[in-house]
Amino acid sequence: MEAEEGISSARGTNTALEKRIMTDTTERTLAPSIDDQHELERGFSSYQSRLVALLAFVQFTIILDFIIMSPLGAILMPDLNITAGQFGVAVSAYAFSAGISGALAAGFADRFDRKNLLLFFYIGFTAGTLLCAIAPTYHLLLFGRIVTGLFGGVVGSVVLAIITDRFPLHLRGRVMGYVQTAFAASQVLGIPVGLFLANHWSWHFSFGAIVGLALAVIAAILMLMRPVNAHLRLKQDKNALAHQMATIRQPRYTLAFAVTTLLATGGFMLMPFGSAFTVHNLGIDIVHLPTVYLVSGLFTIFIGPLVGRISDTFGKFPTFVFGSAMSVIMVLIYTHLGQVTLAVAITVNVLMFVGIFSRMIPSQALISAIPDPGQRGSFSAISASLNQLSGGLGSVLAASIIAQNADGSLRHFDQLGYIVVSTSILSLIAMYFVQRQVARKAREAVL
């Protein structure tokens, strides 16, 4: 039995087991109603395809609102006359407020129709972004980031819960791949457009454009999304706090939470200072900065769906191992770069995104199989909280380590690289045991 378990673990989660993990009675309760079974066997139903597109658009606006701060850093800091440390606080303010709201929302996340929950938090996110768009000072911008984080930080967890409810495990890698193309789309469309608006008018216009997109998303959710409420038929704890604590105290969830924490801590350390490092350390003119994001984003549009299909076909853990190895190598190269050409900067960015996507997509898909059906919303909210809090901690830690020279270049970036590599190795070890849990759960479902 140990040998069999070891073989299964080494291969990740066997795709045949993944397809059958949804066969117990409770999981069938949450499965979507599909009129054409043959259509499902080929891939997505027509409604599932529309749902994936809608969730991807939701993620596009959420991710764009967060990562736009990084490329705008080179514009915001001189315009508002703030230091790199103050800018790091503005970035981490979103993360910390999102982490707090995720923790508070965990007890209620399984008590409402997930569509209504998504609408509530997304409308709050839109209001917070509007505050950023009209903020004339650093302190008002900081307040706007806090409000945006309080609501926007929960949206991702609701999206993950919807995906887990509506799609079986053997399709989730593909779903995550398509939804995470929102990250690439924000690189290709959002960031270059945002930088164009900021360079030609003001950084306020960048946030205003996101508000316009968010209003269109709200209308689409109202018109196109069906209720997601099958989980309400499952037995719930009598009060929200008890439900939240039952999720937190579940030993089986600890390793999954650890993976989320480690990935976020390392990932958020480099991201906020990427534009400043590219301009001042790599020697790329700020005029060409949108080109770096545009070209690398074009490549990652194809990387996301490809990684999703690969993880569903060959196993999610092997894909995660590849992504971890790629990330370690590219982070070490990136953080030790000096003055380079535009082509080199773009190539390094593309390869870094290959590593990021090859970890992010399979880890999300694999971790989604861990929680019990009645705790998916709470589990996702707590994971989102840990993701944001850890990311905020990573940003603050990075801001305390790096320093700026008189010419704006950043020192000690290589030290950040070593820390990120360490978190990558630890997350790989934790993910190894997570995938063994999923494999064990799959075998028990088959038996």
pLDDT tens profile 84-94:
677 777 777 88
pLDDT of the residue at 196 = 67
User: pLDDT averaged over the chain?
Assistant: 79
Residue 105 confidence (pLDDT) above 70: yes
pLDDT of the residue at 74 = 66
More confident residue, 301 or 251: 251
Highest mean pLDDT (candidates 39-53, 247-261, 368-382): 247-261
More confident residue, 72 or 3: 72
Question: Which position has the token pair 């949450």?
Answer: 30
pLDDT of the residue at 236 = 61
pLDDT band at 252 (very low <50, low <70, confident <90, very high): confident
* Distances, alpha carbon 181 to alpha carbons 163, 228, 445, in Å: 15, 23, 32
DSSP string, 5-73: HHHHHHT-S-HHHHHHTT-SHHHHHHSPP-S-HHHHHHS--HHHHHHHHHHHHHHHHHHHHHHTHHHHH
Instruction: Say which range, 69-83, 376-390, 421-435, has the weakest mean pLDDT.
Output: 69-83
pLDDT of the residue at 277 = 85
More confident residue, 305 or 216: 216
Instruction: Say which range, 109-113, 156-160, 171-175, 226-230, has the weakest mean pLDDT.
Output: 109-113
pLDDT of the residue at 445 = 63
pLDDT of the residue at 33 = 37
Residue 315 and residue 17: Cα distance in Å, rounded?
11
In 3D space, the residue among 57, 60, 39 whose CA is nearest the CA of residue 48 turns out to be 39
Residue 346 confidence (pLDDT) above 80: yes
* Distances, alpha carbon 222 to alpha carbons 116, 208, 217, in Å: 9, 22, 9
238 burial type by CB count under 10 A (0-12 exposed, 13-18 middle, 19+ buried): exposed
- Mean pLDDT to the nearest integer, 7-29: 42
Q: Is the dihedral of CA 149, 150, 154, 155 positive or negative?
A: negative
Centroid of chain to Cα 222? 24
What's the token pair of residue 60? 């596009």
Q: Is the dihedral of CA 211, 216, 222, 225 positive or negative?
A: negative
pLDDT band at 375 (very low <50, low <70, confident <90, very high): confident
pTM of the complete model: 0.74
Helix and strand totals (H; E) in the chain = 21, 2
pLDDT band at 332 (very low <50, low <70, confident <90, very high): very high
- Mean pLDDT to the nearest integer, 142-148: 89
- Provide the residue ranges of all domains of the chain, joining segments of one domain with +: 10-446
More confident residue, 160 or 214: 214
Instruction: Say which range, 34-38, 58-62, 153-157, 237-241, has the weakest mean pLDDT.
Output: 34-38
Instruction: Say which range, 68-72, 138-142, 154-158, has the weakest mean pLDDT.
Output: 68-72
pLDDT of the residue at 191 = 65
More confident residue, 30 or 352: 352
pLDDT band at 125 (very low <50, low <70, confident <90, very high): very high
- Mean pLDDT to the nearest integer, 243-249: 79
CATH number of 10-446: 1.20.1250.20
Residue 99 confidence (pLDDT) above 90: no
